[in-house]
């Protein structure tokens, strides 16, 4: 009886350890795909990657399945999964959905955004203006994420929040691609600063208009970059 109980305890512990490892691998895969460390359009060899990372195949397989559900991998029968490749058409569809949902989120969150949060974001934006070039871009990207997620997280609608969080998985990929151009980062920073100013006016229509303009300009910049060279995004990630 004691032996059976001990065996069940070990099995439970091993299952918990495997689930924890799968979660760790999942987070690392998503991070590496978003960061461009795993090249888009290329097959991802699970066995080879599991060996490189020093993990077993079981949690790796579970993590790959979850990443595929997120849309960052395409599973193929008896073949290695493919890392997602993005086209200008993908960008258009993604940013169209983003504009509709994120402007709605801002409207819904308008009266729920904490005053302290807005002040903290405004202070951060002011500090960024005086940073050196090597730190400036990274801090602009951080401000970008914090600002947009302010209304995403305070819109009081968990379905809307969840949908936008998924969309932002892909937006981060495009942001890293476009961050190579300091001029675009500067324009984005100026637009974020303008949005922050509208948050202090109490005029929701001004905030929504500023956000809509920002999203449309971002979409146009990404589409232009991808259309300029169909291989540019793939080369950047590789």
The pLDDT value given to residue 234: 47
Question: Does 74 share its domain with 122?
Answer: no
The 10s digit of each residue's pLDDT in 136-182 is 888 999 999 999 999 999 999 999 999 999 899 888 878 877 777 88
Work out whether the CA dihedral 203, 205, 207, 213 comes out positive or negative.
Answer: negative
CA–CA separation, 232 and 236 (whole Å): 6
**Chosen domain end from 83, 99, 120:** 83
Question: Does 37 share its domain with 128?
Answer: no
**Chosen domain end from 63, 83, 103:** 83
Lowest mean pLDDT across 31-45, 202-216, 220-234:
220-234
Question: Does 129 share its domain with 40?
Answer: no
Contacts 24+ apart (CB under 8 A), 127-135: 128/189, 133/182
Question: Does 138 share its domain with 191?
Answer: yes
Mean pLDDT score, 207-223: 94
**Chosen domain end from 83, 116, 136:** 83
Question: Does 75 share its domain with 107?
Answer: no
Q: State in Å, rounded, how far the first CA of the chain is from the last one.
A: 56
Angle between helical axes of 46-53 and 57-70 (0-180°, round to 10)? 120
Whether the per-residue pLDDT at 216 is higher than 50: the answer is: yes
Task: Spell out the residues 6+ positions from residue 15 whose beta carbon is closer than 8 angstroms to its own.
Answer: none
- Per the structure, the count of domains in the chain is 2
Question: Does 50 share its domain with 118?
Answer: no
Share of the chain above pLDDT 70, in %: 87
Task: Specify the CATH number for the domain of residue 31.
Answer: 1.10.10.10
Quote the distance between the C-alpha of residue 67 and its chain's center.
Answer: 13
Tell which wins on pLDDT, 34 or 190.
190
Question: Does 163 share its domain with 48?
Answer: no
Question: Does 46 share its domain with 153?
Answer: no
Question: Does 97 share its domain with 76?
Answer: no
The pLDDT value given to residue 95: 96
- The domain of 156 spans 88-237
Q: How confident is the model at residue 224 (pLDDT cuts 50, 70, 90)?
A: confident
Question: Does 140 share its domain with 113?
Answer: yes
Q: How many CB atoms lie within 10 A of CB 7?
A: 10
Question: Does 95 share its domain with 211?
Answer: yes
């Amino acid at each position: 009886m004691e032996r059976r109980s001990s065996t069940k305890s070990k099995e439970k512990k091993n299952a918990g350890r495997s689930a924890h490892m799968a979660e760790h691998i999942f987070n690392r895969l998503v991070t590496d795909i978003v960061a461009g460390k795993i090249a888009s359009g290329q097959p991802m060899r699970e066995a080879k990657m599991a060996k490189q990372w020093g993990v077993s195949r079981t949690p790796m397989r579970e993590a790959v399945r979850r990443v595929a559900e997120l849309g960052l991998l395409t599973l193929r029968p008896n073949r290695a999964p493919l890392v997602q490749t993005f086209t200008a058409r993908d960008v258009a569809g993604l940013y169209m959905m983003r504009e509709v949902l994120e402007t709605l989120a801002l409207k819904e969150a308008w009266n729920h955004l904490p005053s302290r949060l807005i002040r903290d974001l405004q202070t951060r934006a002011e500090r960024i203006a005086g940073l050196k070039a090597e730190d400036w871009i990274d801090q602009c990207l951080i401000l970008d994420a914090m600002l947009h997620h302010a209304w995403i997280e305070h819109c009081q609608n968990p379905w809307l929040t969840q949908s936008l969080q998924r969309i932002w998985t892909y937006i981060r990929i495009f942001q890293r691609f476009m961050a190579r151009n300091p001029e675009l980062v500067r324009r984005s920073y100026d637009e974020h600063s303008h949005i922050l100013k509208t948050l202090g006016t109490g005029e929701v229509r001004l905030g929504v208009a500023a956000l809509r303009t920002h999203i449309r300009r971002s979409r146009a910049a990404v589409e232009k970059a991808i259309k300029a060279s169909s291989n540019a995004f793939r080369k950047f990630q590789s």
